[in-house]
Structures are given as structure tokens and as C-alpha cells.
């Protein structure tokens, strides 16, 4: 049996507390959503991962 890959996003049991809205062209959005769907991912999960990585990189840069 295949193990389900963690696609990020909100941890189980945590409540949704806020939103970030992004303005993007409909065609770009659809292409993004289609690509994520083929990979079994969600936009929310992927964007959350990018934000966490961005914060981590900047914390590491500031620590040096």
C-alpha cells in the first residue's frame, strides 16, 4: 500500500484563521490549479509551504 504524501496546508485539527487573497489572471490560475491537481496537491497547501520556506530562508539569513 502506498503511503500518502503530505501535501502541506493546515495540520489536522487546526482551525482556519486567516486568508491571503491573490489577484491572478484566470488562465494562469487554471493552469496552476490543473498542474497541482495532476500532482495531487492543493493551491492552499502549496502556497502555505512556499510561505513557510520563505520565512525559514529569511530567518536563516538573518541568523548569519
Answer left, alpha or beta for residue 40, where phi above 0 means left and psi between -120 and 50 means alpha. Answer: left
Q: Give mean pLDDT, residues 1-15.
A: 63
Q: Is there a contact between 47 and 20 (Cβ–Cβ < 8 Å)? A: yes
Write the CB contacts of 22 (distance below 8 Å, at least 6 apart in sequence). 47
18 φ/ψ angles, rounded to the nearest 5 degrees: -160, 165
Place of cell 530567518: 59
The pLDDT value recorded for residue 63 is 87
pLDDT of residue 55: 95
Is the pLDDT at 40 greater than 80, yes or no?
yes
Using pLDDT thresholds of 50, 70 and 90, give the confidence band for residue 42: very high
* Average confidence (pLDDT) over 37-60: 93
pLDDT band at residue 2, thresholds of 50, 70 and 90? Answer: low
**Residue 43's pLDDT band (cuts 50, 70, 90):** very high
Amino acid at each position: 500500500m502506498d503511503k500518502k504524501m503530505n501535501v502541506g496546508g493546515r495540520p489536522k485539527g487546526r482551525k482556519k484563521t486567516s486568508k491571503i487573497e491573490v489577484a491572478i489572471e484566470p488562465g494562469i490560475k487554471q493552469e496552476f490549479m490543473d498542474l497541482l491537481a495532476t500532482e495531487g496537491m492543493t493551491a492552499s497547501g502549496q502556497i502555505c509551504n512556499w510561505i513557510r520556506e520563505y520565512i525559514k530562508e529569511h530567518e536563516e539569513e538573518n541568523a548569519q
